[in-house]
Amino acid sequence: MAQEKTYIEDIERTLYDIKNVDKSKYKSQSGLTEDIIRDISARKNDPDWMLEFRLKSLEVYNQLSLPNWGPDLSELNMDEIVTYVQPDAKMTGSWDEVPEDIKDTFDRLGIPEAEQTSLAGVGAQYDSEVVYHSIQEDLVKQGVIYTDMETALHEHEEIVRDHFMKLVPPKDHKFAALHGAVWSGGSFVYVPEGVHVEIPLQSYFRLNAAGAGQFEHTLIIVEKNASLHFIEGCSAPKYNVTNLHAGCVELFVNDGARLRYSTIENWSRNMMNLNTKRAVVGKDGVIEWVSGSFGSHVSMLYPCSVLKGENAKCEFTGVTFASKGQNLDTGASVIHCAPHTSANISTRTISKAGGKATYRSAVKVTKNAPYAKCSVNCESLMLDDISRSDTLPTMDIEGDEADIGHEATIGRISDEAIFYLMSRGISEDEARSMIVRGFVEPIAKELPLEYAVEMNNLVNIELEGTMG
């Protein structure tokens, strides 16, 4: 039966859209030049090798072209992007010392409250710098390090030097090179051998300045037989100029270790989100990704897991919700490099109101990975006929001992399901909402309760834009 639909504009994403007056202490000039990079490096008091690294990355950036696949990035003009915005705040371990307007922002986002109730440590970045960092004392006593990247670069220089952009080298792609040149802020986590961090750590990244870029670097090392749950959140108010996020996440999961990396990404609709995330997993290690992509104008995000040690495992659970004006190109990649490695990728994508959701994945099984197993499942839901949903998985398998399966479906909410729920006294709108919440439930259940609630709220915000 044909379904008539009307559309209304999305409701305001008030919580995320409140802007603070730009009180930055310093802003670099817009654009990307050697002088700007030298200036950023000097202000950060980088060691010489880091300045050299930044300058080499700039060279690579200038040599590389934009990708010839994926969403159109022609709107991005680097000459108009301010790559470094220093907030008028010093990094502190007390919220009382954070300037009022910045503290209010994180209050509204619920970060201090979550810190009290459900987190073992918090990092809060505002524009280009981390303004707050804390970690529970008992973790410090066990040797856990959780600090901002700049502090780590000075206090744990050798560890940083051994790992920084080793998993995601600047030559990887143009925006990795850009990141290498202008990175600022981000988190450093080190979990010593055998230590289990029972309560999650969270870093939250807030970009307030219009026309700016955020280039935080997250480096996590989980030593042998240790474990960690790390949560990353990000948001920005909406401006009518393009903002850019080109962060980089490098995760080192050593033998027998386990790392869960959860993200709820809710950038504003003027954001180009060109983020790179990669994990390498040792023998018997486990990487678990939980990824929710709701915001941004354009996203290209494909967390990659390199299963390097025998019996290493990857679990990827992702949901992407693309609405009006959004082109969200998301997915995952897994590279099996050792025997008996296994991966399970499960994603849900939803598109509505002219939004475009693309699921893109790559599964590579090398000759060195006999008995590799990989299962990929992708389900796409379209809520109207002006949106797009595309699925583009690739499997590249060498050898005869791998067991690989892929399944994907695409479609809309069935009229039968709506009618069934309506026959039980539920309104049509609520029936649709229930079905969509059920659709993303496999992802929601992987999140800590308060983040599952946030994700459901985001889904509800999106759905309020559609009247069935």
Partner 1 sequence: MNKEIFSEIPMRTWNWLGVNEAVVDRDLLVESQNLDIKIEAGHQEKMLVEYRKESCGTVNINIGENAVLKLTQLQLMPQNCNHVNEINVVLEKKAKLQLVAVETGAKSFASKVNIILKGDKSQADVSLLYFGDGDRSLDMNYVLEFQGRKTVGNLEVYGGLMGESQKIFRGTLDFKQGAKQAKGYEKENVVVLSSGVRNRSVPIMLSGEDDVVGNHAVSSGKINEDKLHYLMSRGLSPAEARKLVLEAAFNPVLELIDDEALRQEIDSYIKERLENE
Binding residues for partner 1, rule: CB under 8 A, are: 2, 68-70, 333, 360, 362, 364, 367, 370, 380, 382-412
Q: At its nearest, how many Å lie between partner 1 and the CB of residue 302?
A: 9
Give start and end residues of each alpha helix (H) in 144-224. Answer: 149-155, 157-163, 174-182
Q: At its nearest, how many Å lie between partner 1 and the CB of residue 278?
A: 14
C-alpha pair distances (Å), 8 with each of 2, 320, 425, 432, 437 = 20, 21, 25, 16, 20
Among candidate residues 358, 357, 420, the one with its CA nearest the CA of residue 383: 357
* Gap between the Cα atoms of 348 and 377, Å rounded: 9
Cα-based angle 186, 271, 51 (whole degrees, multiple of 5): 40
Q: At its nearest, how many Å lie between partner 1 and the CB of residue 280?
A: 17
* Gap between the Cα atoms of 2 and 299, Å rounded: 33
Q: Is 62 exposed, middle or buried (0-12, 13-18, 19+ CB in 10 A)?
A: exposed
Q: Is 291 or 358 the residue whose CB approaches partner 1 more closely?
A: 358
Among candidate residues 335, 387, 385, the one with its CA nearest the CA of residue 364: 335
Please give the structure tokens belonging to residue 216: 């935080």
Q: At its nearest, how many Å lie between partner 1 and the CB of residue 123?
A: 31
Q: Is 31 or 70 the residue whose CB approaches partner 1 more closely?
A: 70
Q: At its nearest, how many Å lie between partner 1 and the CB of residue 118?
A: 37
* Gap between the Cα atoms of 12 and 18, Å rounded: 10
Q: Is 250 or 329 the residue whose CB approaches partner 1 more closely?
A: 329
Distance linking the first and last C-alpha atoms of the chain:
14
Which amino acid, residue 61?
A: Y
In the DSSP assignment, the letter for residue 377 is E
Q: Is 105 or 387 the residue whose CB approaches partner 1 more closely?
A: 387
In the DSSP assignment, the letter for residue 30 is B
Q: Is 370 or 442 the residue whose CB approaches partner 1 more closely?
A: 370
Contact 378, 407 (CB under 8 A): yes
* Gap between the Cα atoms of 377 and 387, Å rounded: 21
Q: Is 405 or 438 the residue whose CB approaches partner 1 more closely?
A: 405
Q: Is 248 or 372 the residue whose CB approaches partner 1 more closely?
A: 372
Q: At its nearest, how many Å lie between partner 1 and the CB of residue 342?
A: 14
Please give the structure tokens belonging to residue 402: 């791998």
Residues in the chain: 468
Q: Is 143 or 354 the residue whose CB approaches partner 1 more closely?
A: 354
Contact 324, 10 (CB under 8 A): yes
Q: At its nearest, how many Å lie between partner 1 and the CB of residue 385?
A: 5
Q: Is 271 or 382 the residue whose CB approaches partner 1 more closely?
A: 382
Q: At its nearest, how many Å lie between partner 1 and the CB of residue 391?
A: 4
Q: Is 173 or 238 the residue whose CB approaches partner 1 more closely?
A: 173
Q: Is 208 or 389 the residue whose CB approaches partner 1 more closely?
A: 389
Strand-pairing partners, residue 203, are 123, 232
Q: At its nearest, how many Å lie between partner 1 and the CB of residue 440?
A: 17
* Gap between the Cα atoms of 250 and 280, Å rounded: 8
Q: At its nearest, how many Å lie between partner 1 and the CB of residue 397?
A: 5
CA atoms within 13 A on the CB side of 255: 4
* Gap between the Cα atoms of 106 and 110, Å rounded: 6
Q: At its nearest, how many Å lie between partner 1 and the CB of residue 168?
A: 14
